[in-house]
Amino acid sequence: MKRLSAPAAASARTAGRDAGLAVRQIALEILLEVEYRRGYADALLGTRIRALSPADRRLATRLVLGTLAWRARLDYEIERLAERALKSIQPEALEILRMGLFQMRKLNRVPIHAVVSTGVELAKRSSGSKSAAGFVNAVMRRAARDEIDISKSDLYEADYLAIAYSHPRWLVERFIESYGREGAARLMAANNEAAPNAIRINLARATRADIIERLVNEGFQIGAFGRAPETLVLKSAPRFDSDAHRDGLFVAQSEASQLIARMLSPAPGATVIDLACAPGGKSTHLAELVTERGRVLGMDVNLRGIRNARALAHRLRHRKIEFACADAAGAIPLAERSCDFVLLDAPCTGLGTLREHPEIKWRLSPDDPARMGLLQSRMLANAAAIVRDRGAIVYSVCSIAREEGEEVIGRFLDANRDFEIDRQFDNASEMSDLIAPDGFLRTRPDLDGLDGFFAARLVRKTRV
């Protein structure tokens, strides 16, 4: 193998450092947008890292999501290393310290000296933290020497767990009440891990074998097969710059989310109503299930969400989907008892998706699940009104809060005696291990590796 000359080797090292710094600069800008402008990490990552190499996209994603997930644990240590309150640290400097400390404590493959040098360089380049570069250097060098342990003896149990597993105290208490101390710890640890890279392949475009062959040829690494024929789990992030993506052969969608359309189990040729349909993942899945002989009508109150859903349907080449702007919390513009299949994937707190959306846990308040439950109950009542006799409706949320799941269904069934839980749908065998004796589908990242979802399939009894 030909060895590089000394100048060439130095140039290569400089290029590598510049590339690493560029990735961290992007991650820093996203973290600031999330923290101080209430942006959403996944949306910002989707637009900011497209031009990066696959390896750099993975690094940027891990830096952003990991720093957000572990914020409480990082802040606990930063305050003690810096010997000052967090609110006294410049915002840019604080985010640089959080990201740097995350790399030191959680990303063992990144050399400590590289973490320190890039952190200081980021501070020097940032107008908001240029004057704090020396402070950043001192804190990160101290962090490289000393790791601050959590003093369990000085804290109440919930306070200790809130720091150790980086969750708000109110959420820790809720998890302990629901799952016990050990169950809560397992769930919170899973929430802080990276989510699997699940995709749904578009079987309306080609066979499963042909799509897999195409993906492999384009550099995708298949890690595992999911419960459904259209579910694949990749070893690394999907390549959104690939021809397979442009040709509509797959869409990024979590496996738990994919189960919802299959739980509705519409027959080929059926007409399906998807209420709260944005951003279109489940609508397009339903279109695949009902085939070209069927029809899907998606509704949502969010006009931008409707546009995104329509663009997704266009990329996936689904022609039998129509979209309309309507609010399921108000009057639904369809006749009562007119629909065979209805899906209500209701807006929710998102407590089951903290792996992909870690910023959610820092924004929610203790009364949000109950508040959302009231909205969801109104939407379910309106959605159920359009279901005809022996028709089916699936209610789902990407939340594990009882107020948004079991309590919503309990109130609905108490008020609507003509509906009952259906356990015998066509695809039930695919998810039998996830459906409890009460007929509810529940998933959790610590139990089955899936996002936390709740779903129930209800059918309307025939009038006598």
Interval 436-450 mean pLDDT: 97
Residues forming beta bridges with residue 322, ordered by sequence position: 297
Q: Are 369 and 318 in contact (CB under 8 A)?
A: no
User: In the beta sheet, which residues pair with residue 197?
Assistant: 234
CA 74 to each of CA 78, 137, 163, 438: distance values in angstroms, whole numbers, following the listed order = 6, 16, 9, 41
Task: Using DSSP, state whether 10 is helix, strand or coil.
Answer: helix
Rounded-to-integer distance, Cα 227 and Cα 196, Å: 14
From 407, 434, 285, 286, select the one nearest 348 (Cα to Cα). 407
Count of H helices and E strands in the chain?
18, 12
- Split at pLDDT 50, 70, 90, the class of 2 is very low
Cβ proximity of 2 and 8 under 8 Å = no
Q: Give how far Cα 453 sits from Cα of 79, 99, 340, Å.
A: 36, 30, 24
Q: Predicted confidence band at 20 (pLDDT cuts at 50, 70, 90)?
A: confident
Beta-bridge mates of residue 454: 397, 442
Residue reference for tokens 């644990």: 73
Q: What is the dihedral of CA 241, 283, 40, 364, to 10 degrees?
A: -150
Residues in the chain: 464
The mean pLDDT of 102-112, rounded to a whole number, is 92
Residue 151 has pLDDT above 90, yes or no: no
**Cβ contacts of residue 151 below 8 Å, gap of 6+?**
none
Confidence of residue 109 (pLDDT cuts 50, 70, 90): confident
Model pLDDT, residue 8: 41
Distance CA 415, CA 384 (A): 12
Least confident of 4-18, 249-263, 313-327, 369-383: 4-18
The stretch 124-143 carries a mean pLDDT of: 90
The confidence band for 1, taking pLDDT boundaries of 50, 70 and 90, is very low
Nearest to 139 by CA among 107, 94, 180: 94
Q: Which H or E run contains 420? A: strand 419-421
* Neighbouring C-alpha atoms within 13 Å toward the C-beta of 200: 26
314-340 pLDDT, tens per residue? Answer: 999 999 999 999 999 998 999 999 999
Considering the domain 256-460, what is its CATH architecture? Answer: 3-Layer(aba) Sandwich (3.40)
Query: In this structure, how many other beta carbons lie within 10 angstroms of the beta carbon of residue 187?
Result: 22
Residue 120's φ and ψ, nearest 5 degrees, are -65, -40
Q: How confident is the model at residue 103 (pLDDT cuts 50, 70, 90)?
A: very high
Distance CA 286, CA 408 (A): 24
Q: pLDDT grade, residue 63 (50/70/90)?
A: very high
DSSP code for 197? E
- Work out the pLDDT band at 388, boundaries 50, 70, 90: very high
Average pLDDT, the chain: 94
Write the pLDDT tens digit of every residue in 392-411: 999 999 999 999 999 999 99
Q: pLDDT value at position 17?
A: 60
- pLDDT at 154 > cutoff 70: no
Token pair of 418 as six digits: 């003509």
Cβ-Cβ contacts under 8 Å for 459 (sequence gap 6 or more): 390, 391, 392, 393, 419, 420, 422
Q: Hey, what CATH class is 6-145 in?
A: mainly alpha
Q: What pLDDT score does 126 carry?
A: 83
**Is the dihedral angle over the CA atoms 129, 132, 133, 136 positive or is it negative?**
negative
pLDDT score of 145: 95
- In the chain, pLDDT over 70 holds for what percent of residues? 95
Max CA separation in the chain (angstroms): 89
Query: To which residue do tokens 């009562």 refer?
Result: 336
Please give the Cα distance from 406 to 355 (Å, whole number): 23
C-alpha angle with apex 392: 312 to 286, nearest 5 degrees?
Answer: 20
Question: Structural domain boundaries of the chain?
Answer: 6-145, 152-191, 256-460
